[in-house]
Structure 1
Amino acid sequence: MPNIRGGVQKRLSLGHLAQAIELGLEIGSLSTFFSFENNELGSARIKAEVFEKGVADDWLYQSEIQFSDAHIKVSEEGCANQLEGRRILRVVALDDSRLMDVVLRFVIDKRSVQSAFIGSREIMHKRRNRYHQYFSDKVRIFFKNGEVMTFNPVFSVLPAGFEHVVYLRDEPEKWILHIRALALAPSHYVLKGCSRWYNRPFPFAIQRILLGSQWIRSRLLYVRERISQRIPFQVNGAADLPKGSVIQLGVHWSCRHEAH
């Protein structure tokens, strides 16, 4: 593992594959987000942070993070070898908080990938940065050298308002895999501009008018993720996390070789 500021990244030696797969964490609220790979991008403040590497191929990351609308403790336990691995992420609300999502992230170079599936659905890589998101299901990545990785989401503990989902996103040169707890039945909403010329919440008067309609809220909720990143606005949602609430999710993966 590199140092903390370098992000949670690991070169996983998976059988004959030995692909470089980046591991990350993301946690979002209505005000900002925390990215372990690119901490400078959000306005969340890290109040304490520790990373421990075990004697074997395992690790423990812990941090205390302060948002304007959330105060949380984050803990990730992980391990990996040539045949399998696991990650377990636990988020505890240290005060009454609101969160939009909690994510275990994997980044894979698309040039090494032959095909990708969520459950029985093949997901095509069209370089469109589209979110192919479904309720929790296994994900299989078939590599060009015959290796197959299977990711199985596990250990889901979710408060009211959250659902356990997975998605594959076809960034131009990468596959992005998220194992995600997402506020699909949120108690709070924000309408935000998502373009270079307007990248912030809309004025309160506009928010009050538009978000007062349940019809509008439901159709614009995560609309850029569901339909197209070209849409210049989106409604985001967050669910309440009373002090002491826990979000926990995990993933186990295995690797095997299939003869061509």
Structure 2
Amino acid sequence: MTEFMECNWEDGIPATILCGGIRGTEFGIETADRHSFFTLAPECHGARVTDDRTLMNGPADGERHLTVEMAEGRWDAVIATRLRKQGLTLSASLTTLSASLFQDFVVRAVFSAESFAEAAIGEARFRHTGSNIYHQYPVRHAALSGLAGRAEIRVTGAVTGSAFEQVLYVRDAPEGWVVHARLIPAPPYAHLWVRWFNRYFRLSLPDPASRALLSIPVLKSRLWYAAERGGRDALQLQASGLARLQASERIALSMEMNFERS
């Protein structure tokens, strides 16, 4: 806690922050492969945490160490948070324990929909309508603003190696304003992946079938990250690349959030 902001810690990571009318509701990391998804939220599936240690748990600093087994890899992660007078820094690094495939790697923050009226990132300016569209750009800065105040968000560090590129996105999800500093696979991709997820089944095509389908230019242009671009009403069918890291490779992200109360 500071005079400017309140923070409730849980296992080395902020569970909530409160800065006047600005309310942060979730912080952490996410990553996925073709058959499993890791998050600190309940939606985690196909991933098993084999070690989970909290090294610091506030009042100004938090640190959590995780070891995770996924369907297509194993890795260690360190998540570190530092609370400052008018903001916080959230950093995470991931080191592979085996050869591993990744759809992405994310450092994330979520704010209540009522905290802000508008988001600005790249060329986009938009209000919260629950569209769930990923407004994603290869930038390091975004802003959220409204009657309660303003949040300036910056990606302050990224270790991408040769397999990833850094992007930042904001989406107006049903649960609020979701901000992801994100590493996504960079070409040449280790695999191409076409998947269709819905409430009834999860269909994931192997690399040869995905490459055959995406060799048709019109299909590739329509399917490439289509569910993310389409938002709330999109068919959850999309294509993307996958990155491969060998054992002992490291990727990392740092995101800084500064708040200005009205």
Per-residue deviation, 1:3: 4.5
Cα 1:243–1:139 change in 2 (3 A) is: same
Per-residue deviation, 1:162: 1.2
Query: Which amino acid letter does the alignment assign opposite residue 170 of structure 1?
Result: D
1:154 aligns with 2:151: no
1:75 aligns with 2:56: no
Cα offsets for 1:170-227 (capped at 9, x unmatched): 1235111111111143321222112234422248885464145566445422211123
CA distance in 2, matches of 1:104, 1:115: 21
2:60 aligns with one of 57, 62, 72: 57
Give the TM-score of the pair, scaled to structure 1: 0.86
Aligned pairs for 1:1-260 within 5 A: 1=8, 3-4=10-11, 8-14=13-19, 16-17=20-21, 19-38=23-42, 41-54=44-57, 56-119=59-122, 121-145=124-148, 147-185=149-187, 186-202=189-205, 207=210, 209-213=212-216, 216-217=219-220, 219-229=222-232, 230-258=234-262
SS at match of 1:41: coil
CA distance in 1, matches of 2:208, 2:259: 52
Unaligned stretches of 5+ residues in structure 2: 1-7
CA distance in 2, matches of 1:85, 1:103: 17
The answer on whether the counterparts of 1:160 and 1:239 sit within 8 Å (CA) in structure 2 is no
CA distance in 1, matches of 2:91, 2:207: 38
The answer on whether the counterparts of 1:168 and 1:177 sit within 8 Å (CA) in structure 2 is yes
Give the TM-score of the pair, scaled to structure 2: 0.85
Identity %: 22
Cα 1:18–1:123 change in 2 (3 A) is: closer
Cα offsets for 1:144-180 (capped at 9, x unmatched): 22x2111110111102231111111112351111111
The answer on whether the counterparts of 1:30 and 1:237 sit within 8 Å (CA) in structure 2 is no
Map of 2:4 onto structure 1: none
Query: Which amino acid letter does the alignment assign opposite residue 51 of structure 1?
Result: T
Q: Number of aligned residue pairs: give it.
A: 253
RMSD over aligned Cα, in angstroms?
2.5
Per-residue deviation, 1:70: 1.2
CA distance in 1, matches of 2:141, 2:70: 32
The structure whose residues are more often strand, as a share, is 2
CA distance in 2, matches of 1:11, 1:30: 31
